[in-house]
């Protein structure tokens, strides 16, 4: 089958995935081989949580069967082996995103990574005032008059932590608005990001709109203003090649459960010189050098931010997931998902009473589509699709301000991944075409 026309950025000389290869890939995902309500499962909710291939499941199981022990704390054989595979996993993930080993911090998920960062920045001023850091830490401290800039399309995880940072420090939170199609108003961004901006945080790809934001342009604006640039890579790290150094961002976060790995594991990337001076978020064992009854001294990153017993088996499984994606080829995955995304949008636009959010068919997007069905609530749409074995997401997708801006309270979202076929999309479109008549909308 010929590829749907996509932007020039996707027209790279990489081997093209097709349905035959995807069907072979599906064999690696046991959960997809089942019936739901008497129908073969079509899983189109990977934007929320992806499924796990056998290699990832086995990596975590093998750790528990062969190497289960606390890391960094023992001289016995199992502890040494556990530490080795744990730190090997860190190197794998660092390589996966183009970072250095010590710039990769384990978290529970991207939400924790963003909260870690916002809390550490709010503590920077207190540390600096008490002489616990150098001039670099003082420069990171926020105060009244400073500004934090986000966008109107952010997931709550990349909005609320910055709201709270503004509350704790007296800084002002501002946002870059979107236009009626959902694209960032870059003409306004240049005016909003300025000398007072201390933090610029934005999503790489919108979990509602499917838009891929201009990271380099935004990063340049942020750095020209002297701001720290924070990238939410939750919807990009699983789906397209990600090189944080090449993009030039100062921090980035993503979650394992969206990229074939288990829940409970995520990553915070940060430039080494910044991580080493930021105050820790959680404190306790494993992240200290010296402790007295009065105070403690902390290790450099990444251990500085990894108090207590870590997510060892999950980190090992995340590394296995990264290897699976790398071996399949993220360029190829991105191109296949772009085709599926175009197929979804083009099909939805052809159904009466459907409003699709984000770029129109033919314009670049990741492989997801959120839409509104005239006269039918998103939850009813989701239940109707589920009755036919099709799993989608419903609600505001943790992006209430974005939905409010677009005049909606909820949408239905279908999100594809490397294990979805064009037949999956066609089944989904056929089902959506019957929604309004079923509900007599």
Same domain, 256 and 398: no
The tokens for 375 are: 């006269």
39 and 80: one domain? Answer: no
Residues of the chain with pLDDT under 70: 1-14
Q: What gap in Å lies between CA 412 and CA 395, rounded to an integer?
A: 7
Are 17 and 95 in the same domain? no
Short-list 253, 233, 185, 271, CA closest to 174: 185
In a domain, 61, yes or no: no
Q: What is the pLDDT of residues 215-237, one digit of tens each?
A: 999 999 999 999 999 999 999 99
Whether 60 is covered by a domain: the verdict is no
Q: Are residues 317 and 336 in the same domain?
A: no
pTM assigned to the model: 0.95
Last residue of a domain, one of 299, 326, 353: 326
Q: Are residues 151 and 28 in the same domain?
A: no
> In this predicted structure, what is the pLDDT of residue 75?
87
Strand 228-232, strand 251-255: pairing: parallel
Q: Is residue 81 part of a domain?
A: yes
Question: What is the predicted pLDDT for the residue at 15?
Answer: 78
Residue 192: which domain range? 67-326
Is 234 tagged catalytic? no
Q: Which residues pair with 151 in a beta bridge?
A: 176
Alpha-carbon distance of 359 to 227, in angstroms, equals 29
Are 305 and 374 in a shared domain? no
pLDDT of residue 4: 36
**Rounded Cα–Cα distance for residues 327 and 10 (Å):** 19
Q: According to the model, what pLDDT value does residue 8 have?
A: 43
Identify the domain boundary among 268, 294, 326: 326
d(CA 166, CA 138): 17
Alpha carbon distance 193, 200 (integer Å):
8
Last residue of a domain, one of 296, 326, 356: 326
Catalytic residue among 55, 398, 400, 439: 398
For position 1, what pLDDT does the model report? 30
256 within 8 A of 46, measured Cβ to Cβ? no
Q: Measured between alpha carbons, how far is 326 from 54 in angstroms, rounded to an integer?
A: 16
The whole-number pLDDT of residue 77 equals 94
244 vs 256: CA distance, rounded Å: 17
CA distance 187 to 380: 39
Instruction: Report the domain count for the chain.
Output: 2
Distance CA(277)–CA(8), nearest Å, equals 41
Q: Which of 325, 277, 289, 254 is nearest to 104 (CA)?
A: 254
pLDDT of residue 132: 87
Residues 303 and 364 in one domain: no
CATH assignment at residue 385: 3.90.1150.10
412 falls within a domain: yes
CA distances from 7 to 25, 56, 129, 179, 185 (A): 26, 33, 51, 21, 21
Segments in 130-214 forming alpha helices (H): 135-140, 160-169, 186-192
pLDDT at 366: 96
Q: Is 232 inside any structural domain?
A: yes
Closest CA to 60 of 41, 86, 32, 91: 86
């Amino acid at each position: 089958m010929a590829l749907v026309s996509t932007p020039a950025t996707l027209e790279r000389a990489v081997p093209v995935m097709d349905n035959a290869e995807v069907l072979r890939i599906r064999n690696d995902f046991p959960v997809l081989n089942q019936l739901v309500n008497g129908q073969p499962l079509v899983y189109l909710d990977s934007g929320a949580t992806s499924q796990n291939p056998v290699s990832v499941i086995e990596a975590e199981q093998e750790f528990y069967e062969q190497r289960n022990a606390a890391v960094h704390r023992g001289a016995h054989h199992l502890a040494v082996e556990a530490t080795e595979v744990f730190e090997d996993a860190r190197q794998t993930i660092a390589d996966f995103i183009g970072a250095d080993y010590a710039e990769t911090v384990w978290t529970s998920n991207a939400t924790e990574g963003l909260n870690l960062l916002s809390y550490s920045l709010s503590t920077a001023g207190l540390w600096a005032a008490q002489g616990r850091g150098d001039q670099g830490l003082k420069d990171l401290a926020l105060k009244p008059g400073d500004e934090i800039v986000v966008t109107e399309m952010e997931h709550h995880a990349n909005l609320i932590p910055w709201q709270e940072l503004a509350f704790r420090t007296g800084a002002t939170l501002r946002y870059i608005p979107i236009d009626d199609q959902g694209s960032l108003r870059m003409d306004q961004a240049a005016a909003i990001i300025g000398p007072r901006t201390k933090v610029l945080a934005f999503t790489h790809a919108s979990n509602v709109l499917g838009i891929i934001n201009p990271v380099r342009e935004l990063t340049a604006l942020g750095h020209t203003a002297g701001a720290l640039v924070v990238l939410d890579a939750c919807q990009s790290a699983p789906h397209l090649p990600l090189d944080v150094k090449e993009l030039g961002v100062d921090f980035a976060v993503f979650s394992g459960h969206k990229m074939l790995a288990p829940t409970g594991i995520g990553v915070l990337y940060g430039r080494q010189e910044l991580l080493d001076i930021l105050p820790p978020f959680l404190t306790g064992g494993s992240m200290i050098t010296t402790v007295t009854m009065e105070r403690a001294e902390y290790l450099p990153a990444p251990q500085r931010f990894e108090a207590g017993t870590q997510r060892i088996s999950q980190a090992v499984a995340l590394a296995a997931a990264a290897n699976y994606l790398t071996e399949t080829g993220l360029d190829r995955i991105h191109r296949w998902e772009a085709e599926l995304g175009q197929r979804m949008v083009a099909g939805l636009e052809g159904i009466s009473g459907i409003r699709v959010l984000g770029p129109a068919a033919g314009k670049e997007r990741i492989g997801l589509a959120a839409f509104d069905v005239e006269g039918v609530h998103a939850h009813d749409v989701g239940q109707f699709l589920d009755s036919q074995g099709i799993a989608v997401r419903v609600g505001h997708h943790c992006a209430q301000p974005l939905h409010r801006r677009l005049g909606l309270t909820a949408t239905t979202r279908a999100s594809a991944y490397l294990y979805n076929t064009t037949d999956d999309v066609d089944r989904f479109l056929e089902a959506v075409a019957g929604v309004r008549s079923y509900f007599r909308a």
